[in-house]
Amino acid sequence: MTTTGGSDESPSVALRTEALEQLLTERGLIDPNVMDAIITRYETSVGPLNGAEVVARAWTDPDYRRRLLADGTAAIKELGFSGPQGEHIVVVENTPTLHNVVVCTLCSCYPWPVLGLPPSWYKDPAYRARVVREPRTVLAEMGLTLDDDVQIVVRDSTSEVRWLVLPERPSGTEHLTEAELVPLITRDAMVGVARVAAP
């Protein structure tokens, strides 16, 4: 399994999507303005930036971190993030000896309010099957090599529970403010397929 930077869509998928949207619009089945508003919402208002704000708050506010780990849904809602696919979010913390990685083996359940729409690799049957059987290998293929003494726990999202990883705070960031930490925190780190890199 390989992943690349940039768009998760190939040109042919993008063209087919555009053609389908045009056809549905011509038949009066969808309103392009409504579609644009939904897409904009999930690209800007609902997405990984929300999750990064949650993580940065947990890194800088020990009381918030405790609430987040005790009741993820409620703590996330404190920051104003809720909605479909976010009704029950459980937050698990990565440490130097324990690494959590998230998958949905049945479909592609994903915490939309804090991570936006799932990337194509998350929905890929190869990722969904292999990360459960050989997580260390899959993570290495995605660029994350973990020491042998690090325990890996695979968290399987369902329609009832969606998982969010609280990644380890990188060393050398102790002087950074919450706002300065946010841009460092990636979607992949909150799924557990990457670490947050120091600036």
Distance, CA of 115 to CA of 102 (rounded, Å) = 12
Give burial (CB, 10 Å; 0-12/13-18/19+) of 42. Answer: middle
Catalytic residue (choose from 45, 82, 108, 120): 108
For 75, residues 6+ apart whose C-beta sits below 8 A from its C-beta are 54, 64, 67, 68, 91
- 107 in a known ligand binding site: yes
Clarify whether 82 is annotated catalytic.
Answer: no
Catalytic residue (choose from 45, 104, 157, 159): 104
Clarify whether 159 is annotated catalytic.
Answer: no
Contact 98, 153 (CB under 8 A): yes
Catalytic residue (choose from 12, 109, 159, 171): 109
Clarify whether 108 is annotated catalytic.
Answer: yes
Report which residue type is found at 104.
C
- 120 in a known ligand binding site: no
Catalytic residue (choose from 7, 10, 107, 159): 107
Binding-site residue positions for Fe(3+) = 104, 107-109
The residues annotated as belonging to the active site are 104, 107-109
Binding-site residue positions = 104, 107-109
